[in-house]
Amino acid sequence: MQSLELKNESLIEIATFLVRRWSEKENIIIEFSDKMETRTRLKENRVILTSIQKRLGSNFEKYRQLRTSIWYESMRIKFCKKILSNDYGFGFILNTLETLRVEQEGRKLWKGMDKEIIFNYTHMFVARPQLHTVYGKARIVEGFYQYFMFGALKGEVQSSDFERIKKATEFGKKIIEECIKKNYDTEWLEKNVNVIIKILDIDSLLTIPISLPFMKAGMMISEKELLKFLKVIAKNKEVDFGKVDSNAILSGDNIYNEYQVLLDENKKNDKKGIIPESIGIQIPNQINVDETIIYDINLINNLKTKFRDLKSGWKEQYFTSGEEFDVENYIDENKPFFSDIKKSIKTKIVILLDHSSSIASDAIEYKKATIALCEVLSVLKVKFAVYAFSTENRSVICWSIKPDNVKWNKIAAKKLAQIVANGATPLAEIYDKMFQILESKRPDIFLTLTDGEPSDSDAVKNMIKSLKRLGISMIALGYGPNTIRSTTIANNLKHLGYEKTLAVSRLNDIPKRVLSILGQV
Amino acid sequence: MSKEIDYVDWNNSIEILNKAYQADLFVIIIGPKGTGKTSLVRNFIKSKNAKLESINFSLRTRESHLIGTKTLTNGTVSFDEGILIKSMREGSILYLDEINAAEADVLLRLDEALDDRRQIILKESTGGTIKAKQGWFVVATINPLTHTGTKELPPQLLSRFPVRISLEYPPENIELEIIKKHVSGNHDSEISQAIKLANILRQAAAVEELFYSPSLRETIAFGKLLDTGMSTKDSAKIVFGNVYTQWGNIEYQKVADIITSMFGN
C-alpha cells in the first residue's frame, strides 16, 4: 500500500478545477476539514470536505470517495437553491432528498460517474452506524436515511418503525420523481418534507447526531467484506443504474490514472532540496482563499498580446547579408536579407514583492498586477520564483509564493491572495532571510518591487553588495502614486547600490516594466 | 473531394453580408478560431455566384503578394498582378483571411484601395490607376488578439470595414445542428455531451484555468470519429483530452478527469 499523504497542492488544484467545472461556477473554493462532515455553504461559495486522511479504506479508495464527494457537492451547487444544516431533522431530511435529486439530475450529463457513485454508496453504507447504536427518535431518521439511500438497513428496528420508514421512503422517491419530471426545485421539495416528518412521527427540530466514519475506531474492513456490501448496493440500485459489474467497480480502473498522476506529483514535491521553512521563509498555508478576485483577465490578455513575440520565440529581422532574400526590400533599398532571430527569455528571475502597510489601500490592484505578471511569465516559459514580505504579530515574515521549481498554478495565486499588507520595509532583514535560497539557486536577476524606502538603508547597502558578489543582478522597481513620487523613490533606491532602478506610477504598468527588463537581457 | 456542407446561419450573418454587399460596404468578421468564419464567407460567395479571390495572411505575406511583382520573361519585363489588383480588375469578391496575422506595413497599400474611391495607383508597374470594377467586394476576417501571432489591426484600416460581424461559438443546439451536417451516423446524445464538454473547456480557458479552448473543428472531428466506430470516450480523449499533455500532467489530468466523469468507460 502506498503510504503517501495526499493532501498536497496538486490535489487541491485538481479538486478546485473539478468543483468549478462540474458546478459551472467560477469562484467556488475548497477547504478540507478534519472535524466536519462534507458540506457546502452556497452563500460563501465554499465547499468544506472531510479530509482525505479521515476517510476509510486504502489511499486509492479514499481518493475515490473524495472525488465523488466533490461531484455531489458540485451538483448541489448547480441544482440546489439552498442547503440546510444537517444537524436537525428537517434539514437532514431535505438534504437527503436533495442528494438523490441532484444525483439523478447530474447523471444525465455526467454519465461516467455511475461506477464511482455506486462505489461511494458502498463506503457511505459501511460508514453508517448500526441502528442499535443510535438512540431515541434519531434512530428512525437514520433508518429512513439508510433505507432511502441504500435500500437496506444496518441492524433492526421495530416493525412499526420499519413500516413508517418504508412508507416515508416510497413517498420520498415519488416526490423526487415528480420534482425532476416537472422541473421543480428545492423550494417545492422543501414543502413536502413535512409530510415525511409526519410519516416518521418525529419533531422537525429533532437533533441528528453527526455520523462520521472516523468517529468510530477500528472500522477498517477487508476487500471481501467491501465487495459483499457493494453487491448489496448494486442490487438495490439496479432499477436506477442497471446491471453493473461489482468487481470492475471495486477496482476503479478508469480513475486510477489520475490518482497515479497525483502520486507522481507527490514524489516530485518530495525532492525539493532546500526546504524554505528551515531557513525562516514561510509558505502561506490557507487553501480556502478565493483567488479569482485578484485575476484581471483583461490585463492578462493585454499583456499576452503585447509580448506575443516573446512567446513565439522568433522575430523576423533584416540584415545586409544572409540566406533568405527579399526582393521588395532590395528594390526599396533596405537591407534585403532576413532571418528569424530567436527571442526567448533565458533569464532566471526572483521577484520580491513588498507587502508593507503603505500598499494596503491598493492591495487588490497590486495583486492583480503581480498575478498578471506571473501568468505572462508562465506563458512565456520564464523560470521565475516569487516571494513577498509582510509583518505579522510584530515580526516580519518572508513568504514563498512560488519557488522556481514549481509550475505557476492557481495554488500559488491563492498564496498571494491571502497575504495581508502590513508593517514597514525592513529590506535588509528580508534579504538576509532569502540569502541562503539565493545563494543556492543563483538567479540572474533579483527584482525587488517596493513602494517605499527601506527602514534600514545601511544594512541594505551591505546586503546588496554581498548578493551582487554572488553574480546576481540587483534591480529595484519603485512604485509611487504619481510620476514624481515614483521617480523619487527610484532615485533613492539607486543610492543603495542597485544596478538598475525603475519607477512606475500605475500598478498596471508593473508587468510591462518587468517584462521589458527581461526582454533586454 | 469533400462535399460542400450547408452553412447554418444561426445569427443572421448571411443577411448582414447581403445587406453590406447591396450597400457596397466592406465587411470584417471577428471571432475566435474555428467558429465558422471561413465557411460563412464561402457560403456567401456561393450564393452570389461570384468569382472569389482569396489570400490567407501570415507573417510571411508580402506587399508583392497583394499588388504584384515585375518579372523578366524572354528578355521583356512584365508585371505579374497580385491578388488585390486582379480582383479589382475582375470585380470579384476578395477574401482576406486572418488579415491581422500580417505585419502592419504589408497592409498599408490596402488602405489606398479600400477607401471610397476604390482605386489604387500602381507605382510598381506603369504608375497607372487601377479602378475597381463594379461589383468588387471585400470581406476580411480577424482572430481575437489573444490568438498567437496576431497583431492589432491599424485603426485606419479597420475603418475601411464599417460592417463588423462578431462570430462567437454557437449555442449548444446550433452547434449540434452544425455537427450533424458533417456526420452520417446518429450520435445525437453523444455529440451533445461532447459539445457540453467543449463548452466547459472553453469556459475554463476563458478564466485562465486551461491553456487551450476547443473550437467547432474539434466537435466536428469528434462526430466524425464516432462515424468510424470509435468509442465515445476514446474519441473524446483523442480530440479534446490529449492536446493538454503539452502543458504537463496536472493540466492533462484535469481535463481527462472531466472526460471520465462525462463518458465513463
Are the Cβ atoms of B146 and A304 closer than 8 angstroms? yes
Q: Does A216 touch chain B (CB under 8 A)?
A: no
CA distance linking residue B189 with residue B226, whole number of Å: 12
CA distance linking residue A427 with residue A464, whole number of Å: 10
Find out whether B93 and B48 touch, Cβ atoms under 8 Å: yes
Nearest chain A CA: its distance from B246 CA (Å):
12
Q: What is the band of A4 on the pLDDT scale with cuts at 50, 70, 90?
A: very low
| pLDDT tens readout for residues B140-195 | 998 875 555 556 677 888 889 999 998 888 999 999 999 999 999 889 999 999 99
> Which of B191, B262, B263 lies closest to B220 in space, CA to CA?
B191
**Diameter over CA atoms, chain B:** 70
Q: What is the band of A2 on the pLDDT scale with cuts at 50, 70, 90?
A: very low
CA distance linking residue A77 with residue A74, whole number of Å: 5
CA distance linking residue A301 with residue A281, whole number of Å: 32
Q: What is the mean pLDDT of residues A67-89?
A: 93
Find out whether B188 and B173 touch, Cβ atoms under 8 Å: no
pTM given for the model: 0.76
Q: Which of residues 376-415 of A touch B (CB under 8 A)?
A: 379, 407, 409-410
Q: What is the band of A1 on the pLDDT scale with cuts at 50, 70, 90?
A: very low
CA distance linking residue A248 with residue A226, whole number of Å: 13
Q: What is the band of B96 on the pLDDT scale with cuts at 50, 70, 90?
A: very high
| pLDDT tens readout for residues A24-37 | 998 898 888 877 88
The answer, yes or no, to whether residue A485 has pLDDT greater than 60, is yes
Q: What is the mean pLDDT of residues A361-388?
A: 86
Question: What is the full DSSP assignment across A96-113?
Answer: HHHHHHHHHHHHHH-GGG
The sign of the CA dihedral B154, B156, B160, B161 is positive
| pLDDT tens readout for residues A489-507 | 888 888 888 888 888 888 8
> Which of A186, A213, A218 lies closest to A97 in space, CA to CA?
A186
Q: Which of residues 127-186 of A touch B (CB under 8 A)?
A: none
Q: What is the band of B102 on the pLDDT scale with cuts at 50, 70, 90?
A: confident
Please calculate the CA angle B112-B118-B123 and round it to the nearest 5 degrees: 50
Grid look-up 485578484 returns A294
Nearest Cβ partner for A316 among B59, B152, B265: B59
> Which of B63, B127, B53 lies closest to B89 in space, CA to CA?
B53
CA B118, chain centre distance (Å): 24
**What's the mean pLDDT when you consider all of chain A?**
84
The answer, yes or no, to whether residue A521 has pLDDT greater than 80, is no
Q: What is the band of B84 on the pLDDT scale with cuts at 50, 70, 90?
A: very high
Question: What is the full DSSP assignment across A341-374?
Answer: EE-----EEEEEEE--GGGGGGHHHHHHHHHHHH
Q: Identify which has the larger pLDDT, B208 or A40.
A: A40
pLDDT on residue A277:
55
User: Which of A176-180, A240-244, A310-314: highest mean pLDDT?
Assistant: A176-180
pLDDT on residue B1:
40
CA distance linking residue B9 with residue A293, whole number of Å: 38
- Architecture category of domain B13-166 in CATH: 3-Layer(aba) Sandwich (3.40)
Residues of chain A found within 8 Å of residue B211, distances taken between Cβ atoms: 379
